[in-house]
Amino acid sequence: MAEIELEHVTKRFADGTVAVDDFDVRIADGEFIILVGPSGCGKSTTLNMIAGLEDISDGELRIDGVRMNDKAPRDRDIAMVFQSYALYPHMTVRENIAFPLKLAKLDRKAIDEKVEHAAGLLDLTPYLDRKPGALSGGQRQRVAMGRAIVRSPKAFLMDEPLSNLDAKLRVQMRTSISRLQKSLGTTTVYVTHDQTEAMTLGDRIVLMRAGLIQQVGPPQELYDHPRNLFVAGFIGSPAMNFLAAEVTGDCLRTAIGDIPLRGRLRRAVEGRGPKDASGEKPGEVRREVIAGIRPEAFEDASLVHDRDSGGSFTGTVDLLESMGPEKLAYFTLGARGVRSRYLEDVATGEAGGGAQLVAQLDPKSQARRGQPLRLWFDCEAIHLFDPDSGQNLT
Ligand code: ATP
């Protein structure tokens, strides 16, 4: 097992592309860490630098305190699992899993014991004598995992290992990877672009954008306290709603009505928010902010008693999606979408010229497409962002 430290690690490709910029994270022994972000943000490059498949341009990589920058991949004692599985088609499952042990010249008995133990952990015992061509995608992926765990490496590196599986299998494999990692306790770095995988698998998430780390923390922390508009829009599904908000005396004027400026919201617009990283002087009242409300912060007002901290909004339901345990109601607001230089990557969804709003409702809601619906929302759940810097002010 291993502690992996990346200290100010940068990757500059020959053509000048900076794929990873000053990546600085310490991964604890036994930790399951997720690198997540949109396509091209530098996740795979980071993983490849840890594996030794890419050189590090600047900074230092240490495993258990030992500098690894110039060590060959085989000397790092790390196992990698790719989305392509990379199995040998002419070998049986047993031979595929045993392959790294044969290379390491273990004796026959030790190999058999280790292969059978791994097959047991991965529910592969009945398939040991089959060839990969006679296995399902999920079984093949488990063979690839078997080949990684059989060596008892210091760490696992996984690059989108589930992306070739169908939706149901992904969920199954997700839970088995999670259980396996916890029972083996092996430090794991896992790359995905899927925020659901990131939220469910990781002890901590590293969310990247254009080579830069946006936030590092446990999944719930990124969900509850997103540091900026990008994190807020990326984590959570459906994505957080963003609304332009004008500060007018005692309230915030938005397309879903006036929101009273009290407590933390008032402190935020006055530049006294706990997380105000914009460097503005305290006491300088903002005129424009972006309000963020998660779809799950809304409720069908007919199903709740109004509470003190709440606001309400009535709109016509454009579209209704019944998901079983919840209903998603979409509204088009009579206002433009928000403008921020952060917006290019943030899902703010404008439909038909107006900002779009989505509310996640209880399945008991009687909401109907084309009919007006009164929504209740919790003001405590509102985040305020600086339109220019994208920073969360609340
Ligand atoms: P995806 O989710 O699409 O796999 P990613 O987050 O893993 O994306 P990387 O593959 O790490 O992203 O790529 C990061 C950036 O580096 C991208 O802009 C990519 O185009 C660039 N890049 C990758 N390899 C090279 C290379 N050999 N030379 C120049 N630029 C490269």
Quick one: DSSP state of residue 317?
-
pLDDT exceeds 70 at position 10: yes
Residue 285 burial by Cβ neighbours in a 10 Å radius (0-12, 13-18, 19+) = exposed
In ligand 1, the atom with minimum distance to the C-alpha of 191 is 7
Q: Which two tokens stand for residue 257?
A: 């009505």
Residues 182 and 239 in one domain: no
Check if 192 has its Cβ closer than 6 Å to any atom of ligand 1.
Answer: no
Question: Of 389, 293, 286, which is closest to residue 343 (Cα–Cα)?
Answer: 389
Does any domain span residue 97?
yes
Residue 25 lies in a domain: yes
> Cβ distance 321 to 371 under 8 Å?
no
Q: CA torsion sign, 310 to 345 to 17 to 73?
A: positive
Report yes or no for ipTM above 0.90: yes
Residue 312 lies in a domain: yes
- Give me Rg for the CA atoms of the chain: 25
Do residue 240 and residue 228 come from a single domain? Answer: no
Contact 16 CB / ligand 1 (< 6 Å): no
Measured over all CA atoms, what is the biggest interatomic distance in the chain, rounded to whole angstroms?
A: 79
Backbone angles phi, psi at 291, to 5 degrees: -95, 135
Asked whether residue 133 falls in the same domain as residue 211, the answer is: yes
Residues 164, 307, single domain; the answer is no
Query: Which of 203, 233, 263 is the last residue before a domain boundary?
Result: 233
Does residue 57 sit within a domain? yes
**Which of 198, 215, 233 represents a domain boundary (last residue)?**
233
Q: Could you tell which of 10, 11, 15, 17 is best to mutate to test the pocket of ligand 1, judged by most ligand atoms within 8 Å of the CB?
A: 17
Q: What is the pLDDT of residues 262-319, one digit of tens each?
A: 888 988 988 776 554 555 555 567 788 999 999 999 999 988 876 666 788 999 999 9
Structural domain range at position 44: 4-233
Per-residue pLDDT, 279: 54
Indicate if 250 and 360 belong to the same structural domain. Answer: yes
More confident of the two residues 274 and 126: 126
Domain assignment present for 13:
yes
Q: Select from 181, 12, 3, 1 the least CA-distant residue to 81.
A: 181
- The reported pTM is 0.89
User: Atom 21 of ligand 1 has which residue's CA nearest to it?
Assistant: 19
Mean pLDDT of the chain, nearest integer: 88
Same-domain status, 180 and 93: yes
Are 289 and 303 found together in one domain?
Answer: yes
What CATH number does residue 334 fall under?
2.40.50.140
Q: What is the 3-state secondary structure (H, E, C) of 259-299?
A: EECCHHHHHHHCCCCCCCCCCCCCCCCCCEEEEEECHHHEE
Supply the residue whose CA is at minimum distance from atom 29 of ligand 1: 13
On whether both 193 and 286 belong to a single domain, the answer is: no
CA of 17 to the centre of ligand 1 (A): 9
- Structural domain count of the chain: 2
Per-residue model confidence (pLDDT) at position 340: 58
The C-alpha atoms of residue 235 and residue 10 are separated, in whole angstroms, by 25
At residue 282, the pLDDT reads 55
Among 233, 252, 281, residue at a domain's last position:
233
